[in-house]
Structure 1
Amino acid sequence: MSKFYFIFYSIAIFLSVHSFDRNDPINVFVIWLSLFSIYIISFRYLSDFTTKQILCLGILLRIVTVGAIPSLSDDFYRFLWDGYLVSHSINPFAFSPNEFLEQGVPVTEEALSLYRKMNSQPYYSVYPPLLQILFYLPWFFVLSFFAKIILLQFVLLCFETVNLSLIGGDKSKKKFWIYAGNPLVIIESVSQIHPEPILVFLILLSYRLFEAKKFVGFHFVFSLFLQIKLSLVFLIPGGFFLLPKKKRIFFIFAVCLSLTVLFFSLFSKLGNQASSGIGLFFHSFRFHSLFEFLIYFALSPFAEYTYLSGTIALIMGGTIYLFYLYAKNRNLNEAIFVGFLLMLLFSPVIHPWYTLPLFALLSSKIPYTGVFLVFSIFSGFSYLLYSIQYTFFSDFFFMIEGVSLFACIYGRACINYFRKKSQIRKGKNKTCGRSW
């Protein structure tokens, strides 16, 4: 029975990645509801499988998504556009797509098709040099459009296979399945061509190097975080304070070297990035924010200052993280997990795929793992915010998510508390009745 159930789950995943329509709220709701319902029930059957079999299931569920054209995100058009520029020895950070075409430089029909379909025509590329190498690969092999998609998905599938192997040895079956079988992780990691699997690999590798006290390798790998996602500068204190004091100077050197690479590439035109690049995530873009939502709401009476909500939120999150690191000695796993969690909680933008590393970092020492399962569910449903663009719906979504997460953390404790009080009251009433 359990084997047939997971075959059914694989078929559901396959059909879903070929059926999503981000602009249709009913389509998004029904598909995510169906997938998460199947996924939650699947926990009942985990006892029938070994960890190695769960690993194979996780790989299989990702393999069936290969070949689907991404439909939940159109970022891959920008990935391929940047790769096209690199293949023609053009700096992808020097021009926005609009500026590049305004120069009258002849481009292929395929590149024009990418330009028409991308959603970031006026914006500068925000993807660091290491990712640009990945984007260049399909053009290096001179492949068709569909083959380019397959190649990028295959590269990410390889990273996910390694990630599952690394995670499976450290987790209980249930915690492993939160990453291995989670429909959000499965779909966002490979089919939608987001680079988070590479980031997960680097984080897991940094753990291994740190535990083995191979600090030179740790410094190098940690510095590569910034070459995948610049926002992970947030995690630098977590690495710095947990290192032996004699090793910190080399850590700072590696991080500064990585930042120097970014300065002469991604930030070669700093003003452009501030106004129409990475700066947008601080002052203009907002999506599925949590604590930042509260700050934005508090600033709403002063409309001219609402653009500061993202910056204020991230400063607050960073300050809390520093206090956390200072308060008690932590191990690297805990420090990176908490740092990544705080970064998400205080970020003005939480796209569904941003959350993937969080589910890979869950450990046996982290309580309330159910809350992260619920968070993954709401991250999937956050796609509704694309198609239902009414302010009241965003507020309603935030309230329901907040209540659900709060209930996951405190719900059982509250129920037990009121149950005990009820029992005490019944006991008192019985005693009073007998004495009377």
Structure 2
Amino acid sequence: MLFWKLHKAPLLLTFVSLFLYFLFAYDLERIQYEKLLLLYSALFGLFVVLLRYTKTNFRLLVSIAILTRLVFLIAIPNLSQDFYRFIWDGRMLLEGFNPYLYTPESFITKNEFPISQAKELYNAMGQLNGSHFTNYPPIKQLCFAIAALISGKSILGSAIVLRVIIIVADIGTLYFGKKLLEKLNLPIKNIFWYILNPFIIIELTGNLHFEGVMLFFLVWSMYLLYSKKWKWAAAVFACSISVKLIPLMFLPLFYKWFMKRPLDCARGDNQIIKIKELSGRAESRPNNFTKLFWFYSIVGITTLSFFLPFFNSEFINNYTKTVGLWFNNFEFNASIYYIARAIGYAITGYNEIAIIGKILPVLVVTYILVLTFKKNKGEANTLVTYMLLSITIYLFFSTTVHPWYIATPLLLSIFTNYKFPVVWSFIIILSYLAYININTMDKSENLWIISVEYIVIFTAFFWEVILRKKLPLE
């Protein structure tokens, strides 16, 4: 009773949240757009209020984070069908097939069924998933195989195993995220803007997207790097890449950490110690280039070693071709790309995605290189800030922005001054309404809804990054 009296408000908020999460998991279909918006908005509002009431009660918030995830434990994802392809790939591995060499469609069209429930999985995963080679890296494939091994022929069983893996990864992110915040002298409560966010709970635990596993390895790697264990940091960073390729874009930024740091941090604290003054400027640490070289070497060798069991010339062709589709063929919920596409239509009368899709990545790489060689003190929080800005610009210029992609900027933001990804994590729900059109025969995206979404996002971004001129923490 005493516990109830002391925590009545947060407990009531928690009970209501758990009930709404239950409705979201077991009583919602994707096409129920009004219900989707109402539930998500209510959950987000409760999340913000809950943080205000309990921001100092770490154990209670951790308990709530775990409970909200367990609500989804036996649910079949209702906003994404990607997990059916996950199950397909895992079962293919157990049957001795290289999942990178075959499309599900190549079997089904020949009336061949290499795995149990092949036809059911193919029909459920959708034509887009079924007609392309897999682009999921090796550690992610390992998770699929584990799910197939444990669950046997049960689709629900596979979903439960995958969900447990993602929940465990989130707990790991909570653990290392807290330790990294302590290293950076930032409020520990910041971690809950990620770990308790309804967007993260629904998209990762609920819809079984593996950004959470990738981010677990990423934040672990950053903690190790800041603890001066850069060799282990490189190996763990390679694990992050081997879940999803996104961290590859951050590699140039480590040049700043190893080569542009005139100051060194003592192990275990945030005290900055000058190594040596030379001509009025602090001299870089000795052997920084050697450390940088070995950091990149460890990342490269470890990543390649994960891919090695699947390696052959056909794999390289299939994998690069599939990854290239995300830049040159697919388009969904984009922002700047859609503006460029409209200009292309006006000039040529055609969709110029093949051309635009090649130009936009060049602009992103150019921006990352500018950040890499921009003058700063090279401390960990500056590095994370530049990671955040890099992934943000990448998403702004992407041809395809699925909701779960926002998990990366959201996590990185908790280690910086910026909070626009929190706004993004709320407004991104509109992307599920993109195909609402008055004419039901029109299957194209509703650009008015996308416009509203990005007006809010760009407003928050420009307000924080440009108008308020918030700088990376020093």
Which residue number in structure 2 is paired with residue 408 of structure 1?
A: 460
Which residue number in structure 1 is paired with residue 125 of structure 2?
A: 118
Which residue number in structure 1 is paired with residue 359 of structure 2?
A: 312
Q: Which whole-Å CA distance do the structure 2 matches of 1:320 and 1:81 have between them?
A: 38
Question: Structure 1 residues 267 and 177 mapped into 2: Cα distance closer, same or farther (>3 Å)?
Answer: farther
Greater RCO, CA 8 A, separation 6+: 1
Name the SS of the counterpart of 1:280 in structure 2.
helix
Where do residues 23-422 of structure 1 align in structure 2 (5 Å cutoff)? 23-47=31-55, 49-102=56-109, 105-119=112-126, 120-143=129-152, 144-169=154-179, 170=181, 171-172=186-187, 175-243=190-258, 244-257=288-301, 258-259=303-304, 262=307, 265=311, 268-273=314-319, 275=321, 277-301=322-346, 302=348, 303=350, 305-329=352-376, 330=378, 331=380, 332-363=383-414, 365-367=416-418, 369=419, 371-388=420-437, 394-408=446-460
Conserved 8 A contact 1:13-1:64: yes
Q: Which whole-Å CA distance do the structure 1 matches of 2:465 and 2:73 have between them?
A: 43
Q: Which whole-Å CA distance do the structure 1 matches of 2:312 and 2:370 have between them?
A: 31
Identity %: 23
Once the two structures are superposed, residues 38-89 of structure 1 have per-residue CA deviations (whole angstroms, 9 ceiling, x without a partner) of 3333344235x41232222222221222111111100000000001110000
> Runs of 4 or more off by more than 4 Å in structure 1?
102-106, 259-264, 386-393, 409-416
> Quick one: which amino acid aligns to residue 12 of structure 1?
L
Q: Which whole-Å CA distance do the structure 2 matches of 1:115 and 1:205 have between them?
A: 36
Question: Structure 1 residues 412 and 366 mapped into 2: Cα distance closer, same or farther (>3 Å)?
Answer: closer
Q: Which whole-Å CA distance do the structure 1 matches of 2:320 and 2:465 have between them?
A: 46
Which residue number in structure 2 is paired with residue 429 of structure 1?
A: none
Using the TM superposition, name which of 104-113 and 199-208 deviates more. 104-113
Question: Structure 1 residues 266 and 5 mapped into 2: Cα distance closer, same or farther (>3 Å)?
Answer: farther
Higher helix share: 1
- Structure 1 position 197, deviation (Å): 1.3
Q: Which whole-Å CA distance do the structure 1 matches of 2:458 and 2:130 have between them?
A: 40
Once the two structures are superposed, residues 401-422 of structure 1 have per-residue CA deviations (whole angstroms, 9 ceiling, x without a partner) of 3332344356699999xxxxxx
Conserved 8 A contact 1:131-1:228: yes
RMSD, aligned α-carbons: 2.8
> Equivalent of 1:10, from 10, 15, 18?
18
Using the TM superposition, name which of 186-195 and 100-109 deviates more. 100-109
Conserved 8 A contact 2:94-2:148: yes
Question: Structure 1 residues 25 and 223 mapped into 2: Cα distance closer, same or farther (>3 Å)?
Answer: same
> Equivalent of 2:30, from 8, 14, 22?
22
Question: Structure 1 residues 412 and 149 mapped into 2: Cα distance closer, same or farther (>3 Å)?
Answer: closer
> Quick one: which amino acid aligns to residue 400 of structure 1?
V
Q: Taking structure 1 as the reference length, what is the TM-score of the superposition?
A: 0.85
Name the SS of the counterpart of 1:343 in structure 2.
helix
Which residue number in structure 1 is paired with residue 4 of structure 2?
A: none
Q: Which whole-Å CA distance do the structure 2 matches of 1:5 and 1:327 have between them?
A: 45
The runs of 5 or more residues in structure 2 that have no matched partner are 1-8, 259-287, 469-474
Question: Structure 1 residues 175 and 391 mapped into 2: Cα distance closer, same or farther (>3 Å)?
Answer: farther
Q: Which whole-Å CA distance do the structure 2 matches of 1:404 and 1:215 have between them?
A: 38
Q: Which whole-Å CA distance do the structure 1 matches of 2:318 and 2:124 have between them?
A: 22
